[in-house]
Amino acid sequence: MAEMNMLQAINSALRIAMEKDPTMLVFGEDVGHFGGVFRATSGLQDTFGRGRCFNTPLTEQGIAGFANGLASNGTTAVAEIQFADYIFPAFDQIVNESAKFRYRSGNEFNVGGLVYRTPYGGGIAGGHYHSQSPEAYFTQTPGLKVVVPRNAHQAKGLLLASIRDKNPVVFFEPKRLYRASVGEVPEGDYELPLGKAEVVKEGKDITLLAWGAQMEIVEKAAEMAEKEGISCEIIDLRTLSPWDVDTVAESVKKTGRLLINHEAPLTGGFAGEIAATIQEECFLYLESPIARVCGLDTPYPLIHEKEYMPDALKTFEAIKACVNF
């Protein structure tokens, strides 16, 4: 095991995948010699050359269209969208082309070797163009997988699994954890399963569900709740599409309560889909309404970032309200 932060773990995953797959290309805005705006691709061009790690023009739609073309011809394409906020110009190419290649051809051709990497979320004082969490937009698109790691170990294992998956993947990286999340990471090759949630902590009074950077928040809220005698079960969803209904439902049947936390706005957020599904699966087991602690229905505010964030205190208050319902 080596101590790595999330950026180092992502770089390690890309390096291993490129070593083992000579068809793999890494490309995006400034990813070449500069190593990307966050330095996730540092050193890859020096090692593998300009033909396999290179800069693109500043056009997200062009990056995604280029990625589709490469992947449909058998290349393993890993495209970086510099910030998730800038993924929207590429939205048409991702949801209308990447997601539907396999279906529209009857599996005669596909873009299974395609991953879109993109940093998402707030916490870096980035304002409304560098802080959004747009994961829910992609979860309603059959044909795409949506993955969000919470730490360095997950980032490497889930990214390697995403690169080798036979479906296109949108891989959201929590940018405020890039250097803050440091832990033991195997130096070699390993994968973590897509579509499988992780029960991080077992408990009996309430299930707390989150993903990515918000896992740290729910863990802090759970510590506060434990001091009040409330036992929290914590689940990291990890993959939003397809999401692990069985693991979440099994937990809720045990605890009778569910609180979902995500950084994206409340309305239309993925928490709503989870809540609807779990009330269908677990209706007779529920002791209180399913709670959502999410971002606000407003453009991401620069000066009021702290007020916007669904933090540990908001989550703790919601936990108490659920248990005391």
For the question of residue 60 being annotated catalytic, the response is yes
Q: Kindly state the tokens that stand for 306.
A: 């702290």
Nearest by Cα to 133 from 98, 183, 174, 104: 174
The reported pLDDT for the residue numbered 167 is: 97
How confident is the model over 206-220, as pLDDT tens digits? 999 999 999 999 999
Q: How far apart are CA 157 and CA 13, in angstroms?
A: 8
Catalytic pick from 60, 216, 219, 263?
Answer: 60
Specify the DSSP class assigned to residue 93.
I
Q: Has residue 1 got a pLDDT over 90?
A: no
The reported pLDDT for the residue numbered 83 is: 97
Other beta carbons within 10 angstroms of residue 320's beta carbon come to: 15
Q: Kindly state the tokens that stand for 296.
A: 């606000």
Average pLDDT over residues 293-318: 96
How confident is the model over 230-287, as pLDDT tens digits? 999 999 999 999 999 999 999 999 999 999 999 999 999 999 999 999 999 999 999 9
* Beta carbons of 235 and 184 less than 8 angstroms apart: no
What percent of the chain shows pLDDT beyond 90? 99
* Beta carbons of 182 and 4 less than 8 angstroms apart: yes
Catalytic pick from 29, 80, 97, 130?
Answer: 130
Average pLDDT over residues 18-34: 97
Residue type, 40: A
Q: Kindly state the tokens that stand for 216.
A: 């740290």
How confident is the model over 50-104, as pLDDT tens digits? 999 999 999 999 999 999 999 999 999 999 999 999 999 999 999 999 999 999 9
The reported pLDDT for the residue numbered 149 is: 98
Q: Kindly state the tokens that stand for 288.
A: 């209180």
For the question of residue 130 being annotated catalytic, the response is yes
Q: Has residue 310 got a pLDDT over 90?
A: yes
The reported pLDDT for the residue numbered 121 is: 97
pTM above threshold 0.75: yes
The neighbouring-strand residues paired with 234 are 201, 208
Mean pLDDT, all residues of the chain: 97
